[in-house]
Amino acid sequence: MKRLLLLLILALPQGLAAQSKAIETFFDRHAAAEGVTCVQLEPKMMQLMSAQARERGDDQLATLLRNIRFIRIIALKEGDRERFVEEAGRALASGGGFPLVTSTTEQGQRTEFYLQNRSFSECSELVMLTYGSKETVFVDIFGIFDLKQVMRLSSVRPQ
């Protein structure tokens, strides 16, 4: 019994901080696919961007960037857009409950935001899916963040 409890205690933190397995599988499948651009901002890059923000005097942005574990982006340049969107939808549906937070449609482009808050972990996962005639993009943000602040990321570029 003690062994089982010890294993549970050792495995629990990894499970709490882990990205949704379905989303991870979706990224792994599409990251190297032809006609796809994949960008992954991993923890080290987030730390570097945080340091840059702090140097510029933006402490709020620095804290936000430091607490984001990763940002992963997949943009479909060419290929079956409908299939890509369907697969993204299946990943969100089987990914442990990503409720739709908001959506917009403008000039034939639909953008949907999904948010998964883990009640037993501080980490959240925000997914943005944009699709239409102009572009098809899937963005996954994982870490500790305030939803209001995370919108600032749209203007941040690593230098």
pLDDT, tens digit (0-9, with 9 covering 90-100), for 30-42 = 888 888 999 999 9
Give residue 151's pLDDT.
75
List, in sequence order, the alpha helices (H) in 32-142.
43-55, 59-67, 81-94
Give residue 14's pLDDT.
40
Number of structural domains found in the chain: 1
In a domain, 103, yes or no: yes
Most distant CA atoms of the chain, gap in Å? 60
In a domain, 5, yes or no: no
Exposure b/e, 85-119, CB count within 10 A at least 16 = b: bebbeebbeebeebeeeeeeeeeeeebbbbbbebe
In a domain, 149, yes or no: yes
Give residue 19's pLDDT.
53
Cα–Cα dist 142/127, whole Å: 9
In a domain, 1, yes or no: no
In a domain, 31, yes or no: yes
Q: Is the pLDDT of residue 54 over 90?
A: yes
Q: Higher confidence at residue 37 or residue 153?
A: 37
In a domain, 151, yes or no: yes
Owning domain of residue 123:
19-155
In a domain, 111, yes or no: yes
In a domain, 6, yes or no: no
| Contact present, 36 and 79 (Cβ < 8 Å) | yes
Q: Is the pLDDT of residue 3 over 60?
A: no
Look at the pTM and tell me if it is higher than 0.85: no
